[in-house]
Amino acid sequence: MGTRSDAHARPQTGKLSTAMRWTLAAVGAVVVAGVVATLMLFFAPATTPQAATPSTSTSTTAGPAPNATPVDGSEVQPPADQSAPSDRLPPLPVAVPLVTAPLPATSSARGELVTGFPIAVAGPAPGTDVIESSVSSSGTVMQIALTARTDATLEDVTAHYRSLWAGLGLSDAGGEDALAYASPFSSITLAFTDGSGTGTVYAVYATLRTE
């Protein structure tokens, strides 16, 4: 009798009850679900957020219609006149030599003009008596001198030579005691001297170059 009671009292450890099997199954399902979710999060592909596309809309201003009637201020203005003002001074004339080669030989004379004296450049004023004249040449340079007397006034003689030399393209050099005109090739002066007797005595001196 004792043996049978021990057999009935010892629990059977090799088998699980139905309730325990259901509990284990539920726990396993939860664990598997958690593992699957973790793996999905870990291996999910990374997505790059797309940059915002800037607005490409451009505002345009409509031009005038082809057949539109122009109004004041809508016409294209012509460019400003680029021409030189009419009140500007004219360009200075190009300087040129007043004498050319060959130059006359060096010489002098009394009471008359020496041979080769440049009358067109420094000839005596009208109504003048020549006292003496001279020419001195060297290479491309000629120096001249004229002394004369006239009944004309000092102002008349000055006006004569001023007009003559300005007409030849010479510029007023601004002489103080004598009238002076010059260019890159020529320099001429008019001076007055104290002469004996009546009338006006004057002298012309010049240096003239051929080049």
Query: Does any domain span residue 100?
Result: no
Q: Which two tokens stand for residue 147?
A: 């002394």
Q: What is the pLDDT along the chain (211 residues), one digit of tens a residue?
A: 444 444 444 444 445 566 566 555 555 555 555 544 555 555 555 554 454 454 544 445 555 555 655 555 555 565 555 555 556 666 656 789 999 999 999 999 999 999 999 999 999 999 999 999 999 999 999 999 999 999 999 999 999 999 999 999 999 998 777 899 999 999 999 999 876 667 999 999 999 999 9
pLDDT of amino acid 174: 83
Q: Where are the alpha helices (DSSP H) in 117-183?
A: 119-122, 154-167
Question: Is the distance from CB of 139 to CB of 115 less than 8 angstroms?
Answer: no
Query: How many structural domains compose the chain?
Result: 1
Asked, for residue 5, whether it belongs to a domain, the answer is no
Residue at 148 is within a domain: yes
Q: Which domain holds residue 184?
A: 107-209
**Residue 133's CATH number:** 3.30.310
> 3-state DSSP call for residue 207?
strand
Q: Decide if 39 is inside a domain.
A: no
Q: Tokens standing for 94? A: 């190009």
Please check whether residue 82 lies inside any domain of the structure.
Answer: no
At 120, the amino acid letter reads A
Whole-number pLDDT of residue 178: 86
Tokens representing residue 5 in the block: 């009671």
0.75 surpassed by pTM: no
Domain assignment present for residue 203? The answer is yes
pLDDT of residue 186: 97
155 within a domain of the structure (yes/no): yes
Instruction: Determine the pLDDT at residue 37.
Output: 56
Residue 94 has a pLDDT of 77
Q: Is residue 14 part of a domain?
A: no
For the chain, the 3-state helix, strand and coil shares in percent, each to the nearest 5, are: 25, 25, 50
